[in-house]
Amino acid sequence: MKTIASNPATLGGRLREERQRLDLSQALLAGKVGISRISQANYESGKRSPDTVYLSAAFEAGVDVGYVITGKRSAAPDFYRMSAAFVLRSLEKRTGFAEDVLSFVIEAIADAAAAGWMADGLDMPTDDADGAEFDEWLPLADVSALISALNENARLLRDIFAVIHDTLAFNPSLRLAGGKRLAAVVMLFQAFRSAGEVDRVVVENAIRLAAP
């Protein structure tokens, strides 16, 4: 397959460069931010310009939005690394969880932390951010419930994340980022824990209620 080179002189080129840095396809990044692959391609080609809603969601997905807009790298905290450490500390020496469900959990916590950090106006310190400051950016009750759900039924939790991802990917008009996604996962786990199975219709209705 022919690889299209990024042009760092344009916003779309820098956006493509960031997606490639994260090792994501256009479809995967589009799914994370709640748009269609075609819209992502249009942003990268310069046919359309991304709006602030997209840029906020892209930031939560790990994109260096400051670089995309200005061409200069930002010094934002590494939320993925901090979230990975947070989850691993919570799990301590527990083993046996599938890699994909751990990735889902870490990503959800990172998204929520990024949203909290942005809500503070990007003025939190970026050095030594692994400690108490990280907790301040998180909805700790939902994080605690998420870790408990992981310990209780990792398979069900994985299925909930997967259905949410699929629902957002196939419904580009729906967006569920940051703390809202974390809260929805916790709520849906409580709803499905007795049956032990995920109801796709219930998930889609819940997302439609929670999405802006």
128 and 203 share a domain?
Answer: yes
The verdict on 20 and 117 lying in the same domain is no
Is residue 102 situated within a structural domain?
yes
Residue 185 clears pLDDT 60, i.e. is over it: yes
Asked if residue 197 and residue 103 are part of one domain, the reply reads: yes
- Among 15-24, 130-139, 147-156, 173-182, name the one with the lowest average pLDDT: 130-139
Domain presence at residue 44: yes
**Same domain, yes or no, for 83 and 177?**
yes
Task: Count Cα neighbours of 47 within 13 Å in the Cβ-side half-sphere.
Answer: 6
Q: What is the pLDDT of residues 59-80, one digit of tens each?
A: 878 888 888 888 887 665 566 6
What pLDDT is attached to residue 128? Answer: 46
Which contacts (CB < 8 Å, 24+ apart) does range 165-172 have?
165/31, 167/200, 167/203, 167/204, 167/207, 168/31, 168/34, 168/207, 169/27, 169/30, 169/31, 171/204, 171/207, 172/30, 172/34, 172/35, 172/36, 172/39
Handedness of CA 91, 96, 100, 101 (dihedral sign): negative
Structural domain tally of the chain? Answer: 2
Q: Are residues 204 and 125 in the same domain?
A: yes
Looking at residue 92, its pLDDT comes to: 47
Give domain status of residue 5, yes or no.
Answer: no
SS3 45: helix
Pair (66, 83) in one structural domain: no
With a cut of 80, say whether residue 148 has pLDDT above it: yes
Contact between 102 and 87 under an 8 Å Cβ cutoff? The reply is yes
The pLDDT, as a whole number, for residue 156 is 92
Q: Could you count the other beta carbons within 10 Å of the beta carbon of residue 51?
A: 9
Angle of helix 200-210 relative to helix 179-192, nearest 10 degrees, comes to: 150
Alpha-carbon gap, residue 39 to 45, rounded angstroms: 10
**Which of 70, 93, 112 is the C-terminal boundary of a domain?**
70
Reply yes or no on whether the pLDDT at 15 is more than 80: yes
Do 90 and 40 have their domain in common? no
Quick check: 26 pLDDT over 50? yes
Q: What are the phi and psi torsion angles at 172 (to 5°)?
A: -55, -25
- Per the structure, the complete domain to which residue 151 belongs is given by 79-210
Nearest residue to 60 (alpha-carbon basis) of 113, 129, 121: 113
Mark whether 92 and 55 lie in a shared domain.
no
164 and 87 inside one domain: yes
In a domain, 170, yes or no: yes
State the CATH number of the domain containing residue 44: 1.10.260.40
3 domain-assigned: no
C-alpha dihedral, 176 to 182 to 187 to 191, nearest 10°: 90
- Read off the pLDDT band of 140 (50, 70, 90): confident
CA distances from residue 182 to 1, 23, 121, 146, 189 in whole angstroms, order as listed:
36, 23, 21, 8, 11
Q: Quick one: 91 and 64 in the same domain?
A: no
107 and 62 share one domain: no
